[in-house]
Chain A
């Protein structure tokens, strides 16, 4: 089946540890996105990438890092510099700059 896969669905980490969230798509989409959603809040853009080996900061990039070494993969690292990392993280992809985006099922990260 074609789609976007995020793993794991739930993730627990200790404070001060870096953690990497996986996002893979087999839709041959050029663009990929990472969002963060806090309870009762909207989606906030962390990073996005329109093409392999290139990415741009979103509105809340501090404390996060990404890479886009392959078209199908856009992993997000939550570093220890992120002050409040506990949240619902959503990855999305779209065919190009103008078309709709499709989402993975998300990863719920809890830092204790």
Chain B
């Protein structure tokens, strides 16, 4: 079983749609959680950190459920510029080694 699992998609949605991505992780001792965005042939860039209480940044909302070992990202009012691959990232674990593990990414294509 992979340490971090995501549905690879692709998710094809019209502009203005709301779309949700899910991610599960296997190590219950994981400490920190993030969502990154990666454009084609570019480096990943931090989108937002994920906190237990949930957090929102404009059109983006991230949630963490430690009991179910599940992370989600909700994008409201999708824009064409949101088209990218979204990577779920988990950090830490047993002994908190600082190991940073990526899911395989979920591809979003927003269409006019």
Contacts and interface: CB of A to CB of B under 8 A. Distances in A.
| Chain A partners chain B | yes
B100 A101 contact: yes
9 tightest Cβ-Cβ pairs between the two chains A and B: A97-B98, A42-B104, A103-B43, A43-B102, A98-B32, A50-B98, A100-B46, A106-B43, A31-B98
B100 A94 contact: yes
Interface of B: 31-32, 34, 41-46, 49, 87, 89, 91-92, 96-105
A97 B104 CA distance: 22
B100 to A, nearest CB: 6
Contact residues of B: prevailing secondary structure = strand
10 contacts: A33-B100, A56-B97, A58-B99, A94-B100, A97-B92, A97-B96, A97-B97, A97-B98, A101-B89, A101-B91
A98 B31 contact: yes
Given A42-B103, A48-B99, A97-B92, 12 more contacts: A33-B100, A42-B87, A42-B104, A45-B101, A48-B98, A50-B98, A58-B99, A96-B98, A98-B96, A100-B46, A102-B46, A104-B43
B87 A43 contact: yes
A64 interface: no
Nearest to A4: B43
A24 B105 CA distance: 26
B104 A41 contact: yes
A73 B50 CA distance: 29
A105 B92 CA distance: 24
